[in-house]
Structure 1
Amino acid sequence: MSDPKPVECWLTDMDGVLVHEQRALPGAADFIAALTTSGRPFLVLTNNSMYTPRDLRARLQAGGIDVPESAIWTSALATAQFLDGQRPGGTAYVVGEAGLTTALHEIGYVMTDRSPEYVVLGETRTYSFDAITRAIRLIEAGARFIATNPDPSGPSAEGSVPATGAVAALITRATGVEPYNVGKPNPLMMRSALNRLDAHSETTIMVGDRMDTDIVSGLEAGLRTVLVLTGSTRRDQIDRFPYRPTRVVESVAELVPAVAQLGPPATGPAA
């Protein structure tokens, strides 16, 4: 096997890697600071489609983590990019929050409940039975079904809450129509992030806390992967999966020295 190419770019998950709710995890602020100082391109990825990058930047800053708005890539943005490539200037009925509706508005989509081309489902803390019923009827009438991600649940201060995947399952059971999920573990999310950075998979590392989303999507997109144990997947669960991360660390604090030792980034376009 040939030696791996030098690392030029980094992708990192947010929840479970950098923060838990709004509390910074060990080494997170230093990790992002080291990436910024290194001059290496990086993106913070999240399957959560509720918030805009500006909102997420403010949430990270509250935990002492300084991430530029331009370095945040959400499943809402990836979904908007996907739809813009499929049917530019289209129409959609959206169940979700500002992160999703803003992303769709910015690509020129019209939000409507009258014969939309798509039903787009994302996270919200206030899922409406009326909105779900309307989504079901529109899909039955022929609208295409898109979900920002397949996550069945998400964290909150009080415990788990139902997320996009759980509500999508309800709609699928009612309609018999499966959604196309844009977010992780779909490698499309990784590819869209790589394209945003003009990066190559062979020189990029994905850092995540979930074997079944972050690590598998990084693997399928051709990236090296690092699993951190500050989030969902425990060390004793790793061997249950038929694939392995390139490296396992307790937290991103262990990655700070490696990032700090990086030389200046290579010049010229990505390979």
Structure 2
Amino acid sequence: MPDRPAGGPDALRAALRGVRALLLDLDGVIVVAGEAVPGAAAAIGELGRRGTSYRIVTNTSAVSRATLSRWAAKLGTAIPPERFQSALSASAAWAARVLPGQPLYVLASEDARTEFAGQHLLTHEAAGARGARAAAVIVGDSPEEATFDNLNRAFRLVMAGAQLVGMHRNPWWLTAEGPTLDSGAFVAGLEFSAEVRARIIGKPAPAFFSLAIGDLRREVGRDLARRDVAMVGDDVRTDVLAAQRAGLRGIFVLSGKHGPADADAAATERSGRRPDAIAPSLTEVVAALD
């Protein structure tokens, strides 16, 4: 088994040497179970004072970036909407680029659908009409939308030829009420029933990281290399190892839903990869930057 990454501030500083920008997960790094992670707001503020570019990259698909920004402000963390890249916003950008003007059936909240402004979205009634067709069925997290009727409409559209798109594949997430089913479960159910493979837009898809890097380059400069960027996350596979496969550095923090045992488990799998470093929280990561 590959050696465990060395711990301590010196090891973390070594892993972050030369980093010019950060990608930060939301759940488990900035917030956990609906509450701010201690020290996260101050760490974000310190990034601003340093002039370090960052993006919040999250598989959150329930609400728009504007709503995420307002929610973060209520928790004491000032993050403008344009610093968020969500599985939702990336899905809307993908649809606008690949399927311009074509009918889409988007299973997401009313607020989430604002990210698709200007695109051709089918109503539930139109999606359920006899002979209805769509270019894509796009599934996000929205408990009130994930009814049998709506999922059945999505299933029929996929059976009629629509491409199945999952904003992400997360099976569950941690809320104030405890572990909660996420929309990846519905994507998997539609895949099983329709016997298709969904296109996944959010993490761990390499294109999701590429989109974020492109956005950072517009701010930092076109010479920003992938190894100049570190992904900070609490999910070893979806955040850290996925970022490493995309050419970024990966820093695993222990402030979320996973612990060191997850890094050990990941290292026993085929890739044998481990995080570049492990830190208690974002506070220590920011303190270790050059």
Same fold (TM over 0.5): yes
What CA distance in whole angstroms lies between the structure 2 residues aligned with 1:214 and 1:36? 23
Q: Letter of the aligned partner of 2:66 in structure 1?
A: R
Retained in 2: the 8 A contact 1:91–1:116?
yes
Structure 2: gaps spanning 5 or more residues: 1-14, 218-223, 267-271
Matches within 5 A, 1:56-95: 56-95=68-107
Contact 1:76 1:99 in 2 (8 A): no
One-letter identity of the residue aligned with 1:115: R
Is 1:165 aligned to 2:177, yes or no?
no
SS of residue in 1 equivalent to 2:149 = helix
Matched, 1:193 2:218: no
Equivalent residue for 1:152, pick from 171, 190, 212 = 171
| C-alpha distance in structure 2 between counterparts of 1:20 and 1:62, whole Å | 14
Among 115, 140, 145, the alignment partner of 1:122 is 140
User: Alpha-carbon deviation of 1:80?
Assistant: 1.5
- Distance apart, 1:99 and its partner CA: 5.0
1:110 matches 2:120: yes
Change (3 A) 1:203 1:99: farther
Give SS of 1:161's match.
Answer: strand
Q: 2:254 aligns with which of 229, 249, 254?
A: 229
1:12/1:207 contact within 8 Å kept: yes
- Does the residue aligned with 1:137 lie in a helix, a strand or coil? helix
Tell me which stretches of 4 or more aligned residues in structure 1 moved more than 3 Å. Answer: none
- CA shift, 1:85, in A, is 2.5
The amino acid that maps onto 1:63 is L
Give the SS at the match of 1:173.
Answer: helix
Shift of 1:5: 7.1
Distance 2:70 2:60 in 1: 15
Q: Write the mapping of 1:6-85 to structure 2, written as runs, cut at 5 A.
A: 6-85=18-97
Judging changes above 3 Å, is the alpha-carbon distance between structure 1 residues 30 and 4 closer, same or farther for their aligned structure 2 residues? closer
> 2:157 is matched with which residue: 126, 135, 138?
138
Give me the identity figure in percent: 29
Distance 1:202 1:98 in 2: 38
List gaps (5 residues or longer) in structure 1: 263-271
Displacement after TM superposition at 1:258 (Å)? 2.6
**2:275 pairs with 220, 227, 245, which one?**
245
Deviation (angstroms), 1:87: 2.1
Q: RMSD over aligned Cα, in angstroms? A: 1.7
Q: Secondary structure at the match of 2:178?
A: coil
**Residue 156 to residue 246, structure 1, CA distance change in 2 (3 Å):** same
Work out whether residues 27 and 256 of structure 1, in 8 Å CA contact, stay in contact via their aligned partners in 2: no
Alignment-derived partner of residue 209 in structure 1: 234
Deviation, 1:69, is 1.5
Q: 1:13-64 CA distances to partner (integer Å, 9 max, x unpaired)?
A: 0000110133111220121011111112210111011111111111111221
**Number of residue pairs matched by the alignment:** 256
Paired with 2:88 and 2:181, the residues of 1 have a C-alpha distance of 18
Amino acid across the alignment from 2:97: G
| In 1: Cα distance, 2:178 partner to 2:160 partner | 36
Higher relative contact order (CA 8 A, sep 6+): 2
CA distance in 2, matches of 1:129, 1:250: 41
